[in-house]
A and B are shown apart, each in its own frame.
Chain A
Amino acid sequence: MKNKVKVFRAGKDWSQQELAEAVGVSRQTINAIEQGKYAPSLPLALALARTFATPVEELFSLEAD
């Protein structure tokens, strides 16, 4: 699964820690998501999308897409 979390986070000029606190996870989890090492659950993906005020499919997409 691909994601643009790092791009959106940079757009807001947030650190990984700030984003992590905004969605209630650890900084390591945000780091792992950005590096593609961890695929978040649907609730976390939706929380990230809501934090960036963007549709979830804009933030996450399948590799084939």
Chain B
Amino acid sequence: MKNDGLLPASWKKPAALVFAGGIFWGALWLYAGAPEGGIKWFKFVIPALWSDGIMQEAPAGPGWITNNITDELLLTWITLSGLVLGFSRERVEDEAIRQLRWKALARATWINAVLFLGATWTVYGVPYLYVMYAQLVAFLLVFNVLLAVSLRNWYSLGHEE
């Protein structure tokens, strides 16, 4: 089988659960507020390519910094599970399914751009930070929601025997 960049179908359901959990956790933190500085057990000394030395306990520039990696873990969790969810095969992965995935990808790109530009021209000050936070995962979220709706409609196509 030629490599089409898709992952095994068996990965899809676990990825959906993990992605939904990550989005829920992220949304909860965004609106209810995260613990100050993240979860205390996740504070480590880590390598940094670039650090301003303001928000981390470290001098500016590249080097080793002490940082709480809670948000890094959450972003990695959401990004990887979102990619696996969106790019796992269907049970029968044929050309029609590939077309649905492509359309969802194209529509998500446009919708995300409209949302982002809409917020850029209407949200100012500190609230714009939330726009940037949301942008970190918005594309994957919109893509996966559009794909899930398309697939649901597709699988509900009736028999025409």
Contacts and interface: CB of A to CB of B under 8 A. Distances in A.
B78 to A, nearest CB: 30
B23 to A, nearest CB: 28
A40 B95 contact: yes
Nearest to A25: B94
Contacts of A16: 159-161
B95 A44 contact: yes
Contacts of A24: 94
Nearest to B155: A28
B158 interface: yes
A48 to B, nearest CB: 12
Contact of A28 (B96, B99, B161): B96
A6 to B, nearest CB: 7
Given A6-B160, A15-B161, A16-B161, A38 B94 contact: no
A35 interface: yes
Contacts of A29: 94-96
A43 to B, nearest CB: 8
Interface in B70-104: 90-92, 94-97, 99
* Shortest Cβ-Cβ A-B pairs, 10 listed: A26-B92, A25-B94, A29-B96, A28-B157, A31-B157, A41-B95, A31-B160, A29-B94, A26-B94, A38-B96
23 contacts: A6-B160, A16-B160, A16-B161, A20-B92, A25-B95, A25-B96, A26-B94, A27-B159, A28-B96, A28-B154, A28-B155, A28-B157, A29-B95, A31-B157, A32-B96, A32-B154, A32-B157, A34-B160, A35-B160, A38-B96, A38-B99, A41-B95, A44-B95
Interface of B: 90-92, 94-97, 99, 154-155, 157-161
Interface of A: 6, 15-16, 20, 24-29, 31-32, 34-35, 37-38, 40-41, 44
